[in-house]
Amino acid sequence: MPQNITHLRLYENCRGIPLDDDCWMDAHERVGLLTVIVGAREVALFLGIDESDRSRLGRVFRHSAFTTVTGPAPTTAYTWETTYPPPIVTLFRKRDPKSALWLCRNLKVATSLTRPADQITVGRLLGYPECCIGAHQVTKGIFESAVIAAYIRACGEDAEQIADALVKNRKVEMKWKHDKCLSRATARFPFVQHVACEECLTSESSPSGLMNSAYGQLVEELDHHLYDYVLRIAERSQAAGGAKAHQ
């Protein structure tokens, strides 16, 4: 892919701006930033950047072909069936609206991002494979069910008791075995921005595998320090069975 020098200068100008408090997430977000700058993706989403750094990033791109927008963070799409009573389920679906920073190549897309969008819509916009978007929805459904089951075990099926436990931030014991998927995905495909699904993890030629190799090549070519760092984290993740990832 031929590189536009002006665009790459923009990437360099972002170097001193933390994109997330966590070092690994910062590296991860920087890969996302680079993919948009070189045209491999239309949009990047930054969930962990703080207010002042949002402004700094906005200033870097102010007179460029790119647009930065602060808009609502993606909302959960509740596509799964639940067997729990609606008054209890509602307690776990109330969220404070958070905001996020977007970097866009297309002004029309940027304008649309000032309105709330769910995670499926946003996943497609960010170029995530459909198989991984679908699998993520299934995992979220199982997770929600595990959380609700844990509170019912601790408080009974009384919505008021559960609401009280949530307000008091009471800890409950949860049965959840899916965290390993996250670290396995990070270890295998560290350059993609999403958590790869089980099917993708079985093959280098899966949608996530191909995306990982394309993004990895870009990063290797344009920022070899970042490339080495991401690979080191992936190796450590593989060895220790634990690293952070997000979707």
Residues near Zn ion, by CB under 5 A:
129, 131-132, 197, 200
Nearer to Zn ion, 74 or 123 (CB): 123
Nearer to Zn ion, 28 or 136 (CB): 136
Nearer to Zn ion, 165 or 181 (CB): 181
**Minimum Å distance from CB 197 to Zn ion?**
4
Nearer to Zn ion, 129 or 190 (CB): 129
**Minimum Å distance from CB 49 to Zn ion?**
27
**Minimum Å distance from CB 138 to Zn ion?**
12
**Minimum Å distance from CB 54 to Zn ion?**
31
**Minimum Å distance from CB 136 to Zn ion?**
9
Nearer to Zn ion, 113 or 126 (CB): 126
**Minimum Å distance from CB 4 to Zn ion?**
30
As a whole number of angstroms, the distance between CA 222 and CA 8 comes to 8
DSSP the chain: -PPPHHHHHHHHHTTTS-S-SSHHHHHHHHHHHHHHHTTS-SEEEESS--HHHHHHHHHHTTTSS-EEEEEEPPBP---S---S-HHHHHHTS--PPPEEEEEES-HHHHHHTTS--BHHHHHHHTT--HHHHHHHHHHHHHHHHHHHHHHHHHH-S-HHHHHHHHHTT---------HHHHHHHHHH-TTSSSPPPHHHHT-TTSHHHHHHHHHHHHHHHH-HHHHHHHHHHHHHHHHHT------
Nearer to Zn ion, 69 or 211 (CB): 211
